[in-house]
Amino acid sequence: MLRPSKKLLFAIEGVLDIAYHAGGEPVQSREITRRQGIPRRYLEQTLQQLVRSGLLVGVRGPRGGYRLARERRRISVGEIVRVVRAIETAEDPFSEVPASELGKNVIRPMWAELSEEIMTRLDAITVDEMCMRAYKTGIASEANAKLDFTI
């Protein structure tokens, strides 16, 4: 069974949390950890990598935090996965593992094809779609409390 790492799940949850709860203001990591139960120090490392990759923007200052670098409909789950996978494995995990002829010529190519199919599916899912799923399930967004219509 293909299983995502904790870091990968935390990254997707973090980006989705920022998109869903931002309301025009940067989202602070402590807000994300409060809502998601993700250890802050662990989350910060992942969010910083997402900033370096151009998916998020870090905003400094007392009211700072993180915001999406692009519209949420223009960020795919596949992009987030690629950033985290680059952190987790700098090399091909199969390059050092010995394998039989069946492993090299049948199983590994099959696994590579499945991985490519999964990435294609993840590339088709946008953060906006994930936000709509959250809305449809009835998850309350804190974005409404942050909106200010005063002139």
| Contact between residue 66 and residue 47 where contact means Cβ atoms under 8 Å apart | yes
Condensed to tens digits (0 to 9), the pLDDT of residues 87-136 reads 887 555 555 677 889 988 999 899 889 999 999 999 999 999 999 999 99
DSSP state of 67: E
Confidence of residue 149 (pLDDT cuts 50, 70, 90): very low
Q: SS3 for 26?
A: coil
- The dotted CATH code for 6-90+126-146 is 1.10.10.10
Confidence of residue 151 (pLDDT cuts 50, 70, 90): low
Percent of the chain scored above 70 by pLDDT?
A: 89
The domain spans of the chain are 6-90+126-146
Q: SS3 for 27?
A: strand
How far is the C-alpha of 91 from the C-alpha of 40, rounded, in Å? 27
Location of structure tokens 């409390």: 145
Single pTM value for the model:
0.85
- With a cut of 80, say whether residue 1 has pLDDT above it: no
